[in-house]
Structure 1
């Protein structure tokens, strides 16, 4: 079992978002129209706008800050290094070397970074031009100017959500380092087992272990070979615990089949499933 490093992230100014969608609420407070001005202030109904994050690549952001500045983006890439207590670098997956992008984790949730290099992370946040003084003031932190001097005025993602994003085979073959953590996993649906369970595989030349996915909250409206992105928590399958915690609607034969094949094996309990955009 590999040891993990806890990535301490006390930045908490931005609200934490679930998955890859951020919700922006604009409230307008207007006084009532009266001639004497003595009526109490009334509030207009709160309007809610859903803003979907734009999928982007590291190189696209580093090459075009003007295009992405102020944009909510989602990036999935490998971690190349940790910078201080609050930040890490994403390295563009490129055999000939690639760009690096700084991410400041403002989700308020620590990330357990495995000692094994090359594990991917999925982050969603707003692209900014890094101004150390502005970040320190806005989030009431103390980024070391000497440590971040090379990133000043460079693109940075201020992450509202961040989760490790191993391949399905990585989560299935070495689950201990991921148990209990919130993950974001991308893969292809190999086989649909029931209305709320399926096997997830990675699109790889050399194959790998399939990962059992269970979606307790609803029917899985996907087909075999669909590429999907899933957020949830990895845990070992213990039949008694799952029967007590979830209403899965499985018949006895299927329950016994799953218990026989997956007892104490890793299972990814999904809370959201959505199509993965082609890169």
Structure 2
């Protein structure tokens, strides 16, 4: 099995993804010597999602196959468990791990706020290493303090170069105001293909949620009906004039009219890459 690429669960045949480097974690001041538990998610919410990136491994292998993964870059999608230090937290998945949590350290250099509960997954991309405080501080120009990490010496750690909120499509359509203007990574099943740059992601699991409109600002290979994809971008309300102004869109007039009539002021994920 090839461990040189990204890691996800469940769907092994996913084809590729549009990655997005997002902001890193910035946590409010608190007593990190007593890690703060995040509200547990339901079993349904704990399930990891699919990616179009090349995937061959499961998140569990970050612990099970650590020796083979050391130095490799992985991508996982999972819920945060608890805060450890000002720039670190742990992740886990009860269906795949026994009891060991994986430490994740922010090395992006940008602020990022964890969700208040762990029912919203994160997409994390970073290098797998064994924890060595001095070496990680040196290699990534960090200032990690030993008081937070005494239990993690020589344990597997993901040094994150990309962190993104990764809510389900239905969460975004049911509660868009909480996500407007934020950079997100979203996974779902393709439906209602209007063109090569516009389609929706199906949401049949989130109560009150509707399908999410995806709009690419540049031409791309056409997706297929029913295909599982992961896309990254910024959530905005569909205001045609503002989107044309901000992204220099060159869509045809029929598509413009179609989207304006059906999705006016509805949430849309704008994908720029």
TM-score range, shorter chain: 0.7 to 0.9
Deviation at 1:95, TM superposition (A): 9.1
1:84-99 to 2 correspondences below 5 Å: 84-92=85-93, 94=95, 99=100
Separation of aligned partners in 2, 1:185 and 1:55: 20
Larger Rg: 1
What's the counterpart of residue 222 of structure 2?
A: 221
Q: Is the 8 A contact 1:80 1:89 kept in 2?
A: yes
Deviation at 1:53, TM superposition (A): 7.2
Q: 1:8 aligns with which of 15, 20, 26?
A: 26
Q: 1:64 and 1:268, CA in 2 relative to 1: closer, same or farther beyond 3 A? A: same
More strand as a share of residues: 1
What's the counterpart of residue 153 of structure 1?
A: 154
Q: 1:76 and 1:145, CA in 2 relative to 1: closer, same or farther beyond 3 A? A: same
Q: 2:250 aligns with which of 243, 248, 251?
A: 248
Matched, 1:257 2:252: no
CA RMSD of aligned residues (A): 2.7
Separation of aligned partners in 2, 1:264 and 1:55: 39
Deviation at 1:267, TM superposition (A): 0.5
Q: 1:248 and 1:219, CA in 2 relative to 1: closer, same or farther beyond 3 A? A: farther
What's the counterpart of residue 116 of structure 2?
A: 115
Q: 1:175 and 1:161, CA in 2 relative to 1: closer, same or farther beyond 3 A? A: same
What's the counterpart of residue 166 of structure 2?
A: 165
1:25-44 to 2 correspondences below 5 Å: none
Q: Is the 8 A contact 2:196 2:223 kept in 1?
A: no
The C-alpha deviation readout for 1:195-243, integer Å capped at 9, x for no partner, is: 2100112474979410000011114421110001111111111111112
Matched, 1:269 2:262: no
Deviation at 1:182, TM superposition (A): 1.8
Residue 136 of structure 2 aligns to a residue whose secondary structure is helix
Runs of 5+ in structure 2 lacking a partner?
Answer: 1-23, 28-50
The alignment of Structure 1 onto Structure 2 pairs a total of residues equal to: 225
